Amino acid sequence: MRSLLKPGVKMMAVVKANAYGHGALPCTQALLEAGADTLGVGIVAEGIELREQGIRAPIHVLVGVLPDEVDDLIQNDLTTTLYSRSLAKMLSQRASQLGKEVGVHLKVDTGMGRLGVPPDDITGLVEYLQGFKNIRIESIFTHFSSADDEDPAFTQNQIERFQSALDQLKKAKFNIPLAHCANSAALLQFPESQFDLVRPGIALYGALPTQGLATVVESLTLKNKNFSLLPVMQWKTKILTINSLPKGTPVSYGKKFVTQRNSLIATLPVGYADGLERILTNKMQVLVRGHKVSQVGTICMDMCMVDVTDIDGVQEGDEVVLFGRQGQETIEVDAMAALAETISYEILCGVGRRVPRVYIP
């Protein structure tokens, strides 16, 4: 990913939500080794977890803080997004009580309607902050709502609005160290959005922001020998048991599948409690012995069934790939996401806690 950056541009690796389900600590360590400059987490608790595990790199809490999290933020040397004067006041009060400084990243809302002050209010906010000596302004940033769109117009407009906030600050002679806005989709599609730092998440894990960006990634890969997106996560299980079910036998809750032939139905020890969403029932495929086979019958909490009638030599204990590679076949997380009517992010974050993460160096 670094090979996409212009000289001098820094990278904040976004490791929120347990590193998009991949495991916060191992991914953070790998990303820092690979040249990430800073880290982005969602909430204070995620930042504390990394600090307690020895991570010293700067950590920005992207979502911001609730009043009862402010002390933990300050004591763990985390920095927060700042989007209101009331938060500034509270941060400053708590920091003085604790005898510390607190670092903040000013958020400008350029079209997301979620967090931040309007571009025209930014100099007002910075002026207000001059009154608080223990608040250290580290950056100014914004977030794109539609950088994965085919139509660039809205993102270009957000970039312009962000630039106007920067211009206003410059005119008022306020010097803020860093400006940033690019998420993965913007980094892939809008080189002009790099400013001083970029904040990719999903692409670091080798997944696409949306399927629509597949061709963009292909052409970047052709142009830049150092760049490619390789999926970091594969999701695997094993066959728990295999049943011979005669033609006409219903399978699982609600009899949503009935065998159309004498069948071999394998039961897998994975279900919706592991993040295998029920909406995938009778839709998804998995890999067994290098072949795609269909999932059949309602996905249960802890189990689901697949039809292995056509798989020669299939045995209990065989590896099953839910997404990832097996032999010559691949199932992309994006394909599962499409069937579940969602995006890869939700599938990856949704892989349950009880699914062991195994790291292969």
Ligand X SMILES: *Cc1c(COP(=O)(O)O)cnc(C)c1O
In the region spanning residues 45 to 64, those forming contacts with ligand X, defined by CB under 6 A, are 62
Q: Which of the residues 16, 83, 205, 345 is marked catalytic?
A: 16
The distance of closest approach from Cβ of residue 343 to ligand X in the complex, given in angstroms and rounded to an integer, is: 9
Q: Is 100 a catalytic residue?
A: no
Residue 68, classified by CB atoms within 10 Å of its CB into exposed (0-12), middle (13-18) or buried (19+), is: exposed
- Compute CA distances 248 → 168, 222, 259, 262, whole Å: 72, 51, 5, 8
How many residues lie near ligand X (CB under 6 A)? 13
159 makes contact with ligand X (CB under 6 A): no
105 makes contact with ligand X (CB under 6 A): no
Residue 183 vs 295, nearer CB to ligand X: 183
The distance of closest approach from Cβ of residue 341 to ligand X in the complex, given in angstroms and rounded to an integer, is: 19
CB atoms within 10 A of CB 23: 18
1: number of CA atoms within 13 Å, CB side? 34
Cα–Cα distance, 146 to 148 (Å, whole number): 5
Residue 183 vs 259, nearer CB to ligand X: 183
- Which residue in the shown chain puts its C-beta closest to ligand X? 201
21 makes contact with ligand X (CB under 6 A): no
Residue from 200, 271, 275, 297 touching ligand X (CB under 6 A): that is: 200
In the structure encoding, which two tokens stand for residue 213, read together?
């960006």
Q: Is 83 a catalytic residue?
A: no
Residue from 21, 209, 231, 275 touching ligand X (CB under 6 A): that is: 209
Catalytic residue numbers, as ranges: 16, 253
Residues in touch with ligand X (CB under 6 A): 14, 16, 62, 143, 183-185, 199-203, 209
